[in-house]
Amino acid sequence: MSWAKWGGGSAASANPLSLLIFHRVLPHPDPLNPYEPDAAHFDQMLRWLRGYTVLPLEQAIRRLREGSLPAGALSITFDDGYADNHDVALPILRRHGMSATFFISSAYLDGGRMWSDTLVEAVRRCSADVLDLDDLLLGRHRLDSPAARRHAARLLLTRLKYMEPGARDRCAQQVARAARARLPDDLMLSRAQLRAMHGAGMTIGSHTRTHPILTTVPDDVARDEIVASRDDLEAVIDAPVTLFAYPNGRPRTDYHPRHCEMVRRAGYSAALTTASGVSRTGADLYQLPRFTPWDRTALRFRLRMLLNKRQPTEVAL
């Protein structure tokens, strides 16, 4: 089915750019991560993109700047740097002849673990039916069913998300100790996997070193996170890293205009958010919106893509 039937414009200068954001592609469905696609669903979603023009992100941004985007222009992105990006997503992308850009939090390469995964895996691996976190002022949580564990994980993630990063990490570790859980150390990419992805034609971008929400840290810390991640990644892949994605990425809540200026001054050519909408010629290249339609049918997927195209793009003024 052609893009035109789903709302594509005829004039090249009017064509927008849609950016999809993923984090993980799991080998199999996971009840604690129900919104992360498994391999079969991701493969299906890429089949649904056959009516679009899937471009490497750097090329798409250049053509956005020039006003020369083709109809149905779209790029695929991933955030954080999970090992399944290499093990599961990469082979599927290559099978479809598509590329993606992977925004990496560089501190977690080679065995690191993000605070959110510490929480989720603590809940998953706790052997008790109740997780007692009263001593941490986080309450008691039923774990006697997959639904209960999913609810507990979501609640804890929400409670800790906007804490100061150091306190957040310590609290997540305290939850893991209370759960008496043995946590995995193979969730994130290794440097060898990152080099292999770059060698396979994937673009590598920066997502800070330790994934702080930038509004929760002092400006000097934010600036260092923005710059050091790029330096880390360039040392691994021996190539320039020119694209950035804001952690969490909501305008005015997770980053402010001063953070956009930090990214620009650091030498990045563009930066991506998690605001809804599409980008058109003249868009702020340091606040490009992204979204993912998680629908399970081709019709709903395409309808949501069309609705997203009509969304006004939110920016941090």
**Sequence spans of domains, the chain:** 3-108+187-309, 115-179
- Supply 188's token pair: 């994130």
Burial 46-77 (b: 16+ CB within 10 A, else e): bebbebbbbbbbbebbebbbeeebbbbbbbbb
pLDDT at 2 over 60: no
- Residue 28 pLDDT > 70: yes
Q: What local confidence, expressed as pLDDT, does residue 12 receive? A: 39
What is the per-residue pLDDT across 33-44, written as a single tens digit (0 to 9) for each?
Answer: 998 999 999 999
Q: What 3-state class would DSSP assign to 22?
A: strand
SS3 content of the chain, % helix, strand, coil (to 5): 45, 15, 40
Q: Are the beta carbons of 129 and 144 closer than 8 angstroms?
A: yes
259 pLDDT exceeds 80? yes
Q: According to the model, what pLDDT value does residue 5 have?
A: 32
Between CA 233 and CA 211, with CA 170 as vertex, the angle to 5 degrees is: 25
- Confidence (pTM): 0.94
Alpha helices in 107-190 (DSSP H): 115-125, 146-160, 165-179
Note the pLDDT of residue 312.
Answer: 87
Q: Which amino acid is at 257?
A: P
Determine the Cα–Cα distance for residues 140 and 17; give it in Å rounded to an integer: 45
pLDDT in tens, 127-170: 999 999 999 999 999 999 999 999 999 999 999 999 999 999 99
- The rounded percent of the chain whose pLDDT value lies above 70 is 96
pLDDT in tens, 192-235: 999 999 999 999 999 999 999 999 999 999 999 999 999 999 99
Q: Give the tokens for residue 253.
A: 């809540």
Structure tokens at 75: 């790029």
The CATH homologous superfamily for domain 3-108+187-309 is Glycoside hydrolase/deacetylase (3.20.20.370)
Question: What residues contact 286, with CB distance under 8 A and at least 6 apart?
Answer: 260, 263, 264, 268, 270, 271
pLDDT at 102 over 50: yes
